[in-house]
Structure 1
Amino acid sequence: MRDQLSNPENGVSSDPMHSAQQNMRKVLPKRFYKEVSTGERDGRFHVLLDGRAAKTPGQNPLALATGSAADLIAAEFEAQSEDIDPSTMPCYRLANTGIDGVAVDMQAVLEDVLRFCGTDLLFYRADGPEGLVANQRTHWDPVIDWAEELAGARFILAEGIIHAAQPRAAIAGMGVHLKTIDDPIELAALHSMTTLTGSALLAIAVWKGRITAGDAWTAAHVDEDWNIAQWGQDAEAADRRDKRWSEMSAAERLAKSLSRQA
């Protein structure tokens, strides 16, 4: 049964994030363990299933830098019933992505986050109606102001969808902080928050403890929530958003459990 949980699927992807996620798309294995615990070995923290260290789908040790991160994943294993359903284990999946994918090429993932800094959601403002414009200012401007202070440079805002090239100094300034991440799982969590919100600035603000994941989620959905207020929301869209929020919340918890940010 452990092979069902651990063996990677066939196929190779040049994208380290996608490659790791592909390994987790499997027929659900049965729960093969009774007890879940954690243990430290050689300075790393492991999730133990009946006393045996769990592995990733890529057959790498599921080893984490902190006990609190291991506890998050252990709790997800403990919550499984007859089957092990990775879709209900977002911290576990992020850890697998970090270990099996991001660790292979951390620079590529870092550069992807930096690309979001160049085309960030928060840079592109509506020219109306005034209520939407005001909501964007309320939720976005404080993050922009903070990010400019962090980067030591100004960002350029634009109305509509016309591309606004950002100053190299601003992108480089954000890169200085991102390069302090040496844990691939932490970087996987930050990347996940970036793609879920469409904003590296929001993700970095959560990672740095400036705002909460809930604050970032509200900011990322200002436009969508304005449209919902005018036209309503269908149940399928609401369900997709709820599932994405679960991923966002898990990414924040895992990042905070690993981060050295003050």
Structure 2
Amino acid sequence: MQQKIKRFYKTAAAAPAEAGGFAVLLDGRPLRTPVKTPLVVPVQALAEAVAAEWQGQGAEVDPQAMPLNALTCTAIDIVATHRRQVVDDLLGFGGHDLLCYWTDETGELLQRQQQSWQPLLDWAAAALGAPLRKTCGITSLDQPAASLAALRRAVEAHDDLALTGLAAAVKAAGSLVLGLALAGGRIDAAEAFALSQLDELYQAERWGEDAEAAKRLEALRLELESAAQFLDLVR
């Protein structure tokens, strides 16, 4: 976790970069990523949103309170230089997607999965050309090669910025289908959160909410909101 630091600038603003795109300036000086690459993006709205995060800091700068800045740096420092690895990592989620593992008990939870998850699996089959098998319980399930190839094409269609937002959403939701649905506007962040935590939220309703679990869920909810905001900015 990055530590807070004393604020070292007065103003943050977005401005056109000399070589094209849009930079973030702190007191007129270009902001750089953790590996010292100039933070320059092709989308003005994103640069303005990152600048707003920096401008909104108080006497101390809290990196944890600047998720758009973090995602932008990730896009520049990691995704742009390790794109194939990022795509492969996301396909790992698709090969064992959360939405494909249903409860092996009859009852309300199974009904909720049927009502909530099945429409997204149907969407993946129709919109992405990726019909996925599902199973009951936790036994590992292999997916059709053609479906995995279709999911790869869907992931690779995203540019570096959008791929960064997609990756953040997938990792928070634990589901490539949910991440692609969020990136494609099929669902919003609140829906992605509810769908990804369907089992846990159901158990909390039955047995009560655990404080640590609630804290973890809130962190995941915020991660999905940030990913969705980032995706909206770079579309």
Aligned mates of 1:84, 1:150 — CA distance in 2? 42
Closer/same/farther in 2, CA of residues 95 and 153 from structure 1, 3 Å limit = closer
Q: Please say if residues 173 and 193 of structure 2, whose CA atoms lie closer than 8 Å, have aligned partners that are also in contact.
A: yes
> What's the TM-score, normalizing by structure 2?
0.95
In the alignment, residue 147 of structure 1 is paired with which amino acid?
A
Partner of 1:38: helix, strand, or coil? strand
Tell me the distance in 1 between the aligned counterparts of 2:118 and 2:49. Answer: 33
RMSD: 1.3
* Equivalent residue for 2:12, pick from 36, 41, 44: 36
Aligned mates of 2:2, 2:132 — CA distance in 1: 43
**Paired position in structure 1 for 2:52:** 75
After superposition, give the CA deviation of every residue in 1:48-81 in whole Å (9 maximum; x if it has no partner): 1112111111101111120111122112111110
Please point out which of 50, 72, 94 is paired with 1:95: 72
How far apart are the structure 2 equivalents of 1:113 and 1:94? 16
3-state SS of 1:104 partner = coil
**What one-letter code is carried by the residue in structure 1 that aligns with 2:181?**
A
Give the secondary-structure state (helix, strand or coil) at the position aligned to 1:34.
Answer: coil
Find the counterpart in structure 1 of residue 229 from structure 2. 253
Q: After TM superposition, which residue ranges in structure 1, 4 or more long, deviate above 3 angstroms?
A: none
Aligned to 1:20: none
Question: In the alignment, does 2:202 pair up with 1:212?
Answer: no
Aligned to 2:95: 118
Separation in 1 of the partners of 2:58 and 2:65? 11
Shift in Å, 1:153: 4.0
Q: Is the 8 A contact 2:192 2:224 kept in 1?
A: no
Identity %: 35
Asked whether the equivalents of residues 150 and 174 of structure 1 are also in contact (C-alpha less than 8 Å), the reply is no
Q: Give secondary structure in 1 for the equivalent of 2:16.
A: strand
How many equivalent pairs are there?
A: 234
The equivalent residue for 2:62 is 85
Query: Can you list the C-alpha shifts for 1:169-221, whole angstroms capped at 9, x where unaligned?
Result: 111112112112222x3212211111111100000000011111111110001
How far is the alpha carbon of 1:123 from its aligned partner? 0.3
2: CA distance between counterparts of 1:122 and 1:181? 22
Deviation at 1:242, TM superposition (A): 1.4
